[in-house]
Amino acid sequence: MTPALSELTRTFARIGCLSFGGPAAQIALMHRVVLDEKAWVDEADYLRALSFCMLLPGPEAMQLATWIGWRLHGVKGGLIAGGLFVLPGALVVLALSLVYAAFGQVPLVSALFTGVQAAVIAIVVEALIRVSRRALKSREALLIAIAAFLGLFVLRLPFPAIILAAGLWGFFRTAPAAGLPPAAPAALVRSLKTAAVWLALWLLPLAALVALMPGRLAEIGLFFARLAVLTFGGAYAVLAWMAQEVVADKGWLTLAQMMDGLGLAETTPGPLILVTQFVGFMAGHASGAGRWALRRRR
């Protein structure tokens, strides 16, 4: 069933406002709404898309939302679903960053969302049980899941290493399907052109920032551009490295400010990686980058 674009927009606006609790809870929420309530995507496609998104850098929940929108309404649907998934949280984090910069800590926010955190735990546990029942249908799949759990939580192996090992096992364990036609050259060329367009939309504004406004703003842009291509495994995999860079190496934030930013991102809707918005705002605010830019224009 393919929904109307207006229904897709309303649904992902609601998901964006309710997506508390980090990637596990957000993926569970989308599963509940998109599969259980709406039946827009089937289980197998959803799990395959989730596996693919977890291999990419960046927040997998937002990428999954973008894929769902694209699957239902092409590029327009992908932009709407992905944008609405992150926009409410981005607006909230921006507002709280303004309050934090003006008044310091905001304990009221933590108090307001204490109940939300407890509810999110229940949502995550329930979703894990439901998805595991549908995905782990063989003894081999169950053994892989147990091995992955032990690797992550007992041996503390890097998340990308676990995903790579599981992918290699599946590749060598499953014989390549025979009789599949090769990819059409026209499709490959179209994909490369699309990738080039979006890459330019990302890098050209960054190049203009570096050329026209060197200084702290350019440093922030370059740092987060580098971070964007290294965030394999989601926000949790990169937060420690980012904190080390911005606190100990660059001195943009204090450790207390970094911890406050993580708390704000954890207790607001949207992907946890929105903590980068708080970090960038506070780094620019501390240096007076906005006032410096105004003086340059004068």
Identify whether residues 168 and 195 lie together within a single domain.
no
Per-residue confidence (pLDDT) for residue 297, from 0 to 100: 44
Mean pLDDT of the 248-271 span:
82
Of residues 245 and 239, the one with the higher pLDDT is 245
Domain stops at, among 130, 148, 173: 173
Which of 144, 173, 202 lies at the terminal end of a domain, its last residue? Answer: 173
User: What percentage of the chain exceeds 70 in pLDDT?
Assistant: 77
Q: Are residues 199 and 125 in the same domain?
A: no
Angle between helices 235-243 and 22-30 (to 10 degrees): 150
- Do the domain assignments include residue 189? yes
Nearest CA to 110 out of 282, 277, 276, 264 is that of 264
Residue 211 shares a structural domain with residue 119: no
Long-range contacts from 218-224, C-beta under 8 angstroms, 24+ separation: 219/250, 220/280, 220/283, 220/284, 220/289, 223/250, 224/276, 224/280
Contact 268, 96 (CB under 8 A): yes
Domain presence at residue 180: no
pLDDT for position 275: 85
Residue 57 three-state SS: strand
> Which residue shows structure tokens 């025979």?
178
The CA distance from 136 to 134, in Å, is: 6
Are 39 and 156 within one domain?
yes
Percent of the chain surpassing pLDDT 90: 15
pTM of the model: 0.69
Q: Is residue 179 part of a domain?
A: no
- How many structural domains does the chain have? 2
Burial letters 145-165, b for 16+ CB under 10 A, else e: eeebeebeeeeeeebeebbee
Is residue 145 located within the same domain as residue 86? yes
For residue range 193-239, list pLDDT tens digits in order.
888 898 898 889 999 988 888 888 889 989 888 888 766 655 666 67
The mean predicted confidence, pLDDT, of the chain is 79
Q: Does residue 26 sit in the same domain as residue 140? A: yes
One-character DSSP codes across 177-230: PSSPPPPPHHHHHHHHHHHHHHHHHHHHHHHHHHHHSTTHHHHHHHHHHHHHTT
The last residue of a domain, from among 120, 153, 173: 173
Q: How far, in Å, CA of 166 to CA of 144, rounded?
A: 7
In terms of domains, do 21 and 147 share one? yes
- Say if 256 falls within a structural domain: yes
The verdict on 244 and 264 lying in the same domain is yes
The pLDDT assigned to 171 comes to: 73
Residues 122-175 have pLDDT tens digits of 655 665 676 666 667 778 878 888 888 888 778 877 666 777 787 788 777 765
- For residue 273, what is the DSSP state? G
Q: Which two tokens stand for residue 212?
A: 């026209």
Tell me the residue range of the domain where 94 lies: 5-173
Largest CA distance in the chain: 69
In a domain, 142, yes or no: yes
Q: Any idea which residue has 């999954």 for tokens?
A: 64
CA distance 53 to 64: 6
